Amino acid sequence: MNKFQSLRGFNDVLPADAPAWRHLLRTADEVFAAYGYAEVRLPLLEQTELFKRSIGEATDVVEKEMFSFQDREGDSLTLRPEATASLVRLGLEHGLLHNQQQRLWTWGPMFRHERPQAGRYRQFHQLDIEAYGLAGPDIDVELIAVSARLFRTLGLSGLTLELNSLGGPDTRAAYRAALVAFLEKHEAHLDADSQRRLRSNPLRVLDSKVPATQAVVKDAPVITEHLDAESRVHFEGMQKGLFDLGIAFTVNPRIVRGLDYYTRGVFEWTTTQLGAQGTVCAGGRYDGLVEQLGGTPTPAVGWALGVERLLMLMKAQNAPVPGYSPQVYVCSLGEAAEREAARRIEILRDALPALRLILNAGGGKLPVQLKRADRSGATLALILGEAEAAKGVIQVKSLRENTPQTECAWPELPARLSALLSPN
């Protein structure tokens, strides 16, 4: 029979990698809560139309990356490629957005039918944080500060922050005209997608990954020269705010972001340590999106972080990850001792609920059980033979140091273990 394999671009997370995932998510949870952001959880499937209308028809995501299908009722559904559209849908559906301020975050798998490579998958995960009802630039700065603190708390360094402003509708119109005039002169050197987008959605051409197109775009006019007055004030405010917090950045007028809904301030955190997939976190403002999806005009800003890319960076920088391996392995020999151990260990777990302890299962002679204990990564073995069972004691043996084995009465065991095991 054929062996099953996971789908291309869909990854498993094995026990050895899970602690880093858990550490990243726990740290993010703590940092987001510290700034007053509330968690929401979103479904993985939505109506296809939600993404078409928000992300934009002439984007890579909608044109070629969505996992869309018809369900049994003939409705077109899509595995979410990102969280913002769903978050706005949630906010509108539950009345969280009208005349309110909301600080929200979520996380989970996203799906895009891309060419899988290191740092680019078909199922990947994003941490996503967004604020609604706040026009900024103070909140734009806060959101960037949250990301900077997350990186710092994880022990990461060397990430670069790049900013740009895409302006409001006036900026877009003026810039669009200047950009089209420039691109038309170089049309022959653009890739086919970009030639098409030159008419449908010219800003997207700036986001092309095709080297020949990138070479043309290098000399294109820059959007920051066309900023409307309000967007200029907003952009300056962002820069001042970041300066006040000591968060270094550079302005990069080439950043347009891959989704159509962005306006005004946009930013990316990049690293040179991950090769071509160097953008770890990206976001910006999308003041028109709520209205576009049927709500009243509501300013909004947020970012999404690629979890797999951040984990790769943590690995590359050897960022510390707390271990979650068991601390104690309990060996018991013979039926009477096994039953005694099972009963006593449940009582021990009442006393030390956080203790990570494996109770040997499936019998075995002492050397076999000790080998399992060693492989488990535990620091201590507890050994219960028939003699110990009769006497109401247990042997405490270090698996990592050459110290003598000692006897301990069950009532004293919680205190003894707490003293022997490091708080980690």
Supply φ then ψ for residue 25, to 5 degrees: -70, -40
Instruction: Choose between 98 and 209: whose C-beta lies nearer to Mg ion.
Output: 209
DSSP letters spanning 105-156: EEEEEEE-----BTTB-SEEEEEEEEEES---SHHHHHHHHHHHHHHHHTT-
- Work out how close the CB of 10 gets to ligand ATP at its nearest, in angstroms, rounded to a whole number: 11
Which residues bind to ligand ATP, rule: CB under 6 A?
Answer: 82, 112, 114, 119-121, 124, 126, 258, 277, 279-282, 304, 306, 308-309
Give the one entry of ligand ATP, Mg ion, none that residue 282 binds, where binding means its C-beta sits below a cut-off of 5 to 8 angstroms depending on kind.
ligand ATP
Number of residues that bind Mg ion (CB under 5 A): 1
Which residue's structure tokens are 């022959």? 188
Instruction: Choose between 136 and 306: whose C-beta lies nearer to ligand ATP.
Output: 306
- Work out how close the CB of 268 gets to ligand ATP at its nearest, in angstroms, rounded to a whole number: 7
Provide the 10 A C-beta neighbour count for residue 213.
22
Give the one entry of ligand ATP, Mg ion, none that residue 124 binds, where binding means its C-beta sits below a cut-off of 5 to 8 angstroms depending on kind.
ligand ATP
- Work out how close the CB of 9 gets to ligand ATP at its nearest, in angstroms, rounded to a whole number: 8
CA distance 53 to 272: 34
- Work out how close the CB of 279 gets to Mg ion at its nearest, in angstroms, rounded to a whole number: 9
DSSP letters spanning 144-187: HHHHHHHHHHTT----EEEEEE---HHHHHHHHHHHHHHHHHTG
Which are the contacts of 116, defined by CB distance < 8 A and separation ≥ 6? 8, 9, 122
Instruction: Choose between 68 and 398: whose C-beta lies nearer to Mg ion.
Output: 68
Give the one entry of Mg ion, ligand ATP, none that residue 262 binds, where binding means its C-beta sits below a cut-off of 5 to 8 angstroms depending on kind.
none
Which residue's structure tokens are 């066309």? 226
63 in Cβ contact with 205 (< 8 Å): no
Give the one entry of Mg ion, ligand ATP, none that residue 163 binds, where binding means its C-beta sits below a cut-off of 5 to 8 angstroms depending on kind.
none
Per CB under 5 A, the segment of 126-134, 153-161, 252-260, 262-270 that binds Mg ion is 252-260
Which residue's structure tokens are 């708390």? 153
Tokens of 399: 């698996």
Per CB under 5 A, the segment of 1-9, 233-241, 255-263, 365-373 that binds Mg ion is 255-263
Instruction: Choose between 119 and 137: whose C-beta lies nearer to ligand ATP.
Output: 119
Instruction: Choose between 82 and 130: whose C-beta lies nearer to ligand ATP.
Output: 82
- Work out how close the CB of 79 gets to ligand ATP at its nearest, in angstroms, rounded to a whole number: 13
42 in Cβ contact with 106 (< 8 Å): yes
What residue number has its CB nearest to ligand ATP?
306
Instruction: Choose between 220 and 304: whose C-beta lies nearer to ligand ATP.
Output: 304
Instruction: Choose between 19 and 258: whose C-beta lies nearer to Mg ion.
Output: 258
55 in Cβ contact with 81 (< 8 Å): yes
Give the one entry of Mg ion, ligand ATP, none that residue 27 binds, where binding means its C-beta sits below a cut-off of 5 to 8 angstroms depending on kind.
none
Q: Prior bond to 81 cis, omega within 30?
A: no
First-residue to last-residue Cα distance in the chain: 45
Give the one entry of Mg ion, ligand ATP, none that residue 279 binds, where binding means its C-beta sits below a cut-off of 5 to 8 angstroms depending on kind.
ligand ATP
Per CB under 5 A, the segment of 147-155, 229-237, 250-258, 399-407 that binds Mg ion is 250-258
Give the binding site for Mg ion (CB under 5 A). Answer: 258
